[in-house]
Chain A
Amino acid sequence: MSTTAVIEPAKDPRGPWFRRLPVISHFNKSVGLQRAMLVGGLVLTALFLLTAIFAPLIAPFGFSQISDADGNFPSQQAPGGKHLWGTTVGSYDVFSRVVWGAQTAVLVIIVAVVMSIFIGVILGLVSGYIGGWLDRTLVVIADAIYAFPPLLVAIVMAIAISGGRSSLWGGILAAAISITVVFIPQYFRVIRAETIRLKAEPFVESAKVVGASNIRIMRLHVFKNATRTLPLIFTLNASEAILTLAGLGFLGFGIEPTSAAEWGFDLNKALADTTSGIWWTGVFPGLAIVLTVLGLTLVGESINDLNDPRLRGRKKAVSGKSGPDSTTGAQAALDAEVRSS
């Protein structure tokens, strides 16, 4: 603790910025099965995103195409030949519909999750920090929304918002907004809880003592520290958004096949086919839903486990070896570990 100690060169011990990004930092500290889960999830998610981005290049036909230069597509044709995964009763090409469906799904996720994050975070921050009657009112509203089954809320919202319209953006927005309404309470709850915890932290009190304004405290001290869990909720909610969208489509509140491809809608139309042995119209959109949700959930769950030092696996320490003094960082990590065990 001598004060004239040599000052180490000012290198940032946290590593370059890109290694601190949510998913990359998680990958770096994972080992064994946890790493395999994370990688599996990332591969599935990447596949999903790439399909969505390059849908116009991958899909041989348009999502609403029922004929080409050679004439009309056959109806309910088995997989093979020109139609890789067969055709539906309405003569749509199944493979093309599944590929285009990824694009719809991504758009809905982005719009829904971004809207709910913005609104949920702001409401949670204000509600938790200011407290009082505003907080109580918002919590009651959030609880009321919680009390409804999410799909029911989404259906009501879909009817209220689109009123039966079914253009591409109309459909996407209707689906996205209905999902947003369901998700806002989740972000609201998480951020509010974090805010209330942070409000009692000495560094926030310290800012109060020096006379910082409420806006400054919320922006600089609370917000920055309250958003650590967002990547986690983001991934978990993305998979839930897909399920809600598919559920809406399946029930007939989705997007018309002429406006965009939608997996849930295709599943609905495939219902009648199953009894007559036509499996390809249902299996492929279904698989697409399952794999996408699985991928996103794996990523989310892995991040969740890796965020918690008690759930995170590590390489075994080398037994019996004696070594040099550990770094202060390692000592601090150890302190936390011993205390929490």
Chain B
Amino acid sequence: MTINIDKPGTGAGPVLDIDRLKVTFATDAGDVYAVKDVSLQVNPGEVVAIVGESGSGKTVTAKTILGLLPETAVSSGAVLINGSNVISVSPAKLREIRGRDVAMVFQEPSTALNPVFTVGWQIAEGIRSHAGHGGGARVSAKEAKTRAIEALRKVGIPDPETRVNYYPHQFSGGQKQRVVIAAALALNPGLIVADEPTTALDVTVQAEILELLRDLRDQYGTSIVLITHNMGVVADLADRVVVMYRGDVVEEASARVLFAEPKQDYTRKLLAAVPHLGRNSASEGMTERAHQGGKVLVEARNLTIEYPGRLGSPAFKAVDGVNFTLSEGEVFGLVGESGSGKTTIGRAIAGLNRTTGGSLKVLGYEMLNLKERTFKPLRKEIGFVFQDPAASFNPQLTIGDCIAEPLIIHTKPTPAQARQRTRELLEAVQLPAAYADRFPHELSGGQRQRASLARALILNPKLLIADEPTSALDVSVQAVVLELFKEIQAEFGFAALFISHDLAVVDILSHWVGVLYKGKMVEQGLGHQVMGNPQHEYTKKLIASLPVPDPDEQARRREEFRAVLHG
């Protein structure tokens, strides 16, 4: 099924050669063919991205490269790294290969580092465990430390001589990922496998890490296998792209060719589903804020929300003097990175968090000094869609029971009425009515998120709060859910507070966008104006950091924004 392959003309053989790899897992529900037939090669100094949605087998492929599969897996075929077949070598030999020939960068830097050892020790651990093997001389602790400092300097940690003795918690998220990369680089492996290296990071930090990976390739000629679902990251970094779908390679091409002329239907669909900043904006053509004639549903004035600090330490201000209004029928997009306070604001409006200062009026009710008893009648006017569709349904109840719950609590209907209304809502979110009898785990992520929307809308609320409703979904599913959300909003006419870290997603839905940074609202405006012509420094940086799914445009943006990013 591999079409439009182009081999870069390099003299040396490939660093990694995967030949007809098959991986099968034994599970309770029978055998799962996670990887069916994958062949690919990585040449020296090349960045190969393996992209695919969840269940495509990309992570399993990556784990096979380092021999990290669990015991329940059986693999066949060949994974050759510098001539040794990882699948069949002895455990001792495999340990030798790991770190020296191939290293891994994990998704979550805060869990990939051991919190009770200094970062220097952790980097040196790899160096020392390989010394003495394979003819290498033993390395003294001092020498290993020197090399650890060197590795930290390589990845751009400032003042590595001091910071080599720091513990992981003393670094920020992006710096931790740099340390993980330093540990991977310590033995100068020819190949790094990076499994979603930037997924857990904020977009501004992601830009820095991508920059670092690019530098490594350019300076040291390290090959990188990049596993990701983010097409923007692929466009920014990859030379060649392998698209996987359900355990098979669907398409393989150089990044430029793939994005410009995808050959396979699946690739085309996947690329079409990726939200592209500046396209398909909900506020397209608007010149002033819409819906201002209607009633104001949410009004925040100088809103402050503090979390009490530990004994002795001051309280943490999650939200700091924020002003905004949300009127009937309007979609307000709230954007910010982690820790910006966007989720806290959403939860405060739903009465899940207490406000500590200023004023927050929700449907005319002052949320400062909230009393559950007096707020409860208003709850039927507020719908909430949670981030993780898997966790927001009680696993013991059917979808129908879950969707009908708000109805049962507020209007006490007969079972027949409840069923009838549930069926209507399921239809509205384009799910078959028969799904009411299923259990949450029997639905896919996208279906669950639609059911979640149905539950939020069953009482016809005036206000809907959606907290990152699509960030746990695959990109093609996200596109469908966003489209549905847009349609339903137009049909039902509710006001919505749409919270997301993804600028492109917010722009597709929101008429009015607010940008949060460290608890402060730094900028508000029409969606396309904020995205196209940002005023605040932070917004500029945020937009500059967001990679677009187009290698040529991304290369141009990179040059253009270099000044902003490093300014």
Contacts and interface: CB of A to CB of B under 8 A. Distances in A.
Given A1-B480, A206-B384, A334-B55, 10 more contacts: A203-B393, A203-B402, A212-B405, A212-B409, A220-B397, A326-B31, A330-B32, A333-B28, A338-B60, A341-B69
B26 A202 contact: no
Given A211-B410, A216-B409, A331-B32, A203 B392 contact: yes
Best-buried of A13, A14, A334, A335 by chain B (most CB within 10 Å): A334
B288 to A, nearest CB: 33
A337 interface: yes
B431 interface: yes
B72 A1 contact: no
B379 A333 contact: no
B351 A338 contact: no
Contact of B26 (A1, A315, A328): A315
A321 B23 CA distance: 9
A interface majority secondary structure? loop
B394 interface: yes
B395 interface: yes
Interface string A314-333: 11111111111111111111
28 contacts: A1-B444, A1-B477, A3-B430, A10-B434, A201-B391, A202-B388, A203-B394, A203-B395, A206-B384, A206-B386, A206-B393, A207-B405, A208-B352, A209-B350, A210-B379, A210-B405, A211-B380, A212-B409, A225-B394, A309-B28, A316-B26, A331-B32, A331-B55, A332-B441, A334-B25, A334-B27, A334-B32, A335-B55
A320 B36 CA distance: 9
A57 interface: no
A337 B27 contact: yes
Contact of A337 (B33, B72, B76, B410): B72
Contact of B70 (A225, A322, A331, A338): A338
A14 B402 CA distance: 19
A333 B27 contact: yes
Contacts of B74: 316-320
A213 B373 CA distance: 10
Interface residues on A, range: 35 or more
A220 B68 CA distance: 41
Nearest to A315: B26
Interface string B34-59: 10110000000000000000110001
Best-buried of A207, A321, A323, A338 by chain B (most CB within 10 Å): A338
Nearest to A320: B76
B22 A1 contact: no
Contacts of B90: none
B12 interface: no
Closest 9 interchain pairs by CB?
A211-B379, A330-B29, A341-B70, A210-B406, A202-B392, A333-B27, A3-B430, A317-B24, A317-B26
B396 A225 contact: yes
B359 interface: no
Given A334-B25, A337-B70, A325 B246 contact: yes
A330 B434 contact: no
Best-buried of B59, B376, B384, B405 by chain A (most CB within 10 Å): B405
A29 interface: yes
Interface in A199-229: 201-203, 205-213, 216, 220-221, 224-225
B218 interface: no
Contacts of B391: 201-203
A327 B60 contact: no
B interface majority secondary structure? mixed
Contacts of B431: 3
Interface in A274-323: 309, 314-323
Interface string B335-376: 000000000000000111000000000000000000000001
A211 B409 contact: yes
Nearest to B377: A211
A7 interface: yes
Contacts of B31: 317-318, 323, 326, 330
Interface in A79-129: none
A10 B351 contact: no
B516 to A, nearest CB: 21
A210 B37 CA distance: 48
Contact of B76 (A314, A319, A328): A319
Best-buried of A216, A309, A328, A330 by chain B (most CB within 10 Å): A330
Given A326-B31, A328-B444, A320 B70 contact: no
Interface string A28-60: 010000000000000000000000000000000
Contacts of A329: 29, 442
Interface of B: 22, 24-34, 36-37, 54-55, 59-60, 63, 68-70, 72-74, 76, 246, 350-352, 376, 379-380, 382, 384, 386-388, 391-397, 402, 405-406, 409-410, 430-432, 434, 437, 439, 441-442, 444, 446-447, 455, 476-477, 480
Nearest to A28: B28
Nearest to B385: A206
Contacts of A316: 26, 74
Interface of A: 1, 3, 5, 7, 10, 13-14, 29, 201-203, 205-213, 216, 220-221, 224-225, 309, 314-335, 337-338, 341
A312 to B, nearest CB: 8
A316 B73 CA distance: 8
Contact of A338 (B59, B394, B430, B446): B59
Contacts of A216: 409
A325 B446 CA distance: 20
Best-buried of A7, A202, A210, A213 by chain B (most CB within 10 Å): A210
Contacts of A201: 391
A24 to B, nearest CB: 15
A92 to B, nearest CB: 51
Nearest to A198: B394
Contacts of A210: 379-380, 384, 405-406, 409-410, 455
Given A206-B392, A211-B410, A333 B32 contact: yes
Given A327-B29, A338-B60, A341-B70, A321 B24 contact: yes
Contacts of B441: 332
A205 B352 contact: yes
Nearest to A224: B396
A61 B47 CA distance: 84
A8 to B, nearest CB: 8
Contacts of A205: 352, 386
Nearest to A209: B384
Nearest to A5: B432
Contact of A7 (B26, B54, B351, B432): B432
A336 to B, nearest CB: 9
B37 A330 contact: no
Given A211-B380, A338-B60, A221 B394 contact: yes
Nearest to A222: B394
A330 B26 CA distance: 9
A7 B434 contact: yes
A13 B442 contact: yes
Nearest to A6: B432
Nearest to A330: B29
B406 A211 contact: yes
B72 A317 contact: yes
Nearest to A205: B352
A181 to B, nearest CB: 31
A326 B380 contact: no
Contacts of B30: 326-327, 330
Nearest to A327: B29
Nearest to A319: B74
Nearest to B23: A317
A72 to B, nearest CB: 61
Nearest to B31: A317
Given A201-B391, A212-B405, A337-B70, A326 B32 contact: yes
A2 to B, nearest CB: 9
Nearest to B440: A203
A328 B455 CA distance: 24
A318 B437 CA distance: 35
